[in-house]
Amino acid sequence: MDGKLIILSAPSGAGKSTIINHILQEGLPLQFSVSATSRPPRGNEQDGVEYYFLSPETFRERIRKGDFIEYEEVYPDRFYGTLKSEVEENLRNGKNVITDVDVAGGINIKKMYGDKALLLFIQPPSIEELKRRLETRGTDSPEVIADRISKASYELSLASQYDQVIVNDDLEKAKQKTVNTINKFISHS
């Protein structure tokens, strides 16, 4: 039997990575799909762990080869995408796959996989709180934060297209709700 696909999306700074790390530590039967990006690593990020870090030229070449289920050029020369190889083989082998993708990409993947996919949107409590979190994180310039806030407003308008929206106003509650939602989805045949 094929595995199921769980797609998590959120505006940058909404807590998606923290929630995914929690889910993976909970011991759920999930295989994390590492996305590809053309952005440079942040902090201690490692190639093949948090992302596959590709140059913009290599990313474009892999797009031409049809290696992605979805991809987006989020900002000029700043690509993010989900490699077919990261998802298809695991699903065929009966493994459940969890992936972390941008909001538009998540909607596109859901269209491809239908009922085999669960589309979860992690929503910040407000744009103001999102801005505060991004500033506190200290990894982006004021210009990048302004771009992320602008993009977040658009992404929030797409939340209604998701199977479930989980508001991250209390991190522990958001983690538990996400785990419970995924457990229900993967245990239902």
Domain count, the chain: 1
d(CA 6, CA 117): 6
Q: Write the CATH number for 88.
A: 3.40.50.300
Query: Which residues are paired to 68 by β-bridges?
Result: 83
Q: What pTM value is reported for the model? A: 0.85
Query: Is 189 within a domain?
Result: no
Query: Is 136 within a domain?
Result: yes
Say how many C-beta atoms besides its own lie within 10 A of residue 19's C-beta: 24
List, in order, residues 6 or more apart from 132 with CB less than 8 Å away. none
Q: What is the pLDDT of residues 157-188, one digit of tens each?
A: 999 999 999 999 999 999 999 999 999 999 98
Domain enclosing residue 171, as ranges: 5-183
> DSSP E strands: which ranges in the chain?
5-9, 30-33, 35-37, 51-53, 68-75, 78-83, 96-100, 117-123, 164-167
Query: Is 82 within a domain?
Result: yes
Are the beta carbons of 47 and 59 closer than 8 angstroms?
no
With a pLDDT cut of 70, the percent of the chain lying above it is 99
16 or 12: which leads in pLDDT:
16
Are the beta carbons of 36 and 84 closer than 8 angstroms?
no
Query: Is 73 within a domain?
Result: yes
Rounded CA Rg of the chain: 16
CA 89 vs. chain centroid, Å, equals 19
Q: What is the pLDDT of residues 52-85, one digit of tens each?
A: 999 999 999 999 999 999 998 878 899 989 999 9
Query: Is 188 within a domain?
Result: no
